Amino acid sequence: MQAVVFGASGYSGAELLRLLDGHGEIEVVGVSGESTAGRRVGDLYAGLPRAVRELRIRTTEELLGLIVGAELSSVELAFLALPHGVAERLAPQLLRHVSTVVDLSADFRLADPSSYPSHYGREHGEPELLEEAVYGLPELKRSALQGARLIAAAGCYVTAATIGLLPLVERSLVEPDHIIIDAASGISGAGRSLKEENLFVGREANYSVYGLRHHRHVVEMEQNLGVRVIFSPHLLPVSRGILATIYARPSNELKAQLEACGDEKSADALLRELYATRYQNEEFVEVTAVPPDLSSVVYSNLCRVSVVYDVRTNWIIVVSALDNLTKGAAGQAIQCANIALGYLEFEGLPKGGRVP
């Protein structure tokens, strides 16, 4: 199947190109990038495979014109790695010519169009298309993704939080108003554009918090989980990866079960079994006894999760780790496309992290 990547010059777009080069069913035949139009992909990312390095970057309008016209009329799949607000305008045009559109921005993630003005500063321009869009988190919406035409890939922080909490919230095993998500991301999560606060001299050997109280990902987390959360995002001085530490109070029912275990080791085993059962058929979720770290997941499509119970304070502590560019963006988008198109879900996606 022929595909195009809009926004290929950004980090998520480049990650799409890296992963799709190893996909046995999908061939990338066109890419776009506004400020880099006219250059080759290899001029920006010399480390990408040779086949994609030779692709010439077009503007969005040029690439759209080639799809509508004769040159790329056989394209059936489009990935949109574009800024928020751009995909919303482009998707309706693309859906008249391709069978499947996967959007990596937030333009179609929120089910309620009234949420967009307060969180993204604008009215949603395609409310009818928003109703058609399928939320792109396979561990949550796998059946709905089958045959989907428009997919809204989940956010990176949201993926770490949702996978970390699903086994507990799905069965109402935690108090819905006492959940804290403390997460840190690599700097690539801020995108490729030049920003003063992201310069090397300010980020190297530094660690900072941002977006307290009003981060736009909170509404997406609460939409997925059906609970209220406090979310504190941080920037790490690393290029990629997210590590989330999540705190939740057990429900009275679960608390009684954990206390009946007699000791923390047995309580931890009970929780770990609960998580292992929930994710036993998931290719890209691994439940671990030891809390995961970033090096075990970067460059993979894995989300690794551990869970323990602190008897002294009566808090459940979950640690969730993933690569924000892979499972948190490009890998997730490909995983969703594989499900929608009937390919093997793991096609083109790495299961192992960086070694050493």
d(C-alpha 334, C-alpha 295), whole Å:
22
Report H helices in the chain.
11-20, 41-44, 50-53, 60-68, 86-94, 115-120, 127-132, 138-145, 156-169, 200-203, 217-225, 252-260, 264-278, 331-341
156 a catalytic residue: yes
Instruction: Report the Cα–Cα distance between both ends of the chain, in Å, rounded.
Output: 35
Six token digits for residue 132: 């058609």
Q: Which is it for strands 230-235 and 208-209: parallel, antiparallel or unpaired? A: antiparallel
Q: How far is CA 271 from CA 168, 209, 274, in A?
A: 9, 30, 5
Among candidate residues 156, 261, 303, 336, the one labeled active-site is 156
Catalytic machinery residues: 156
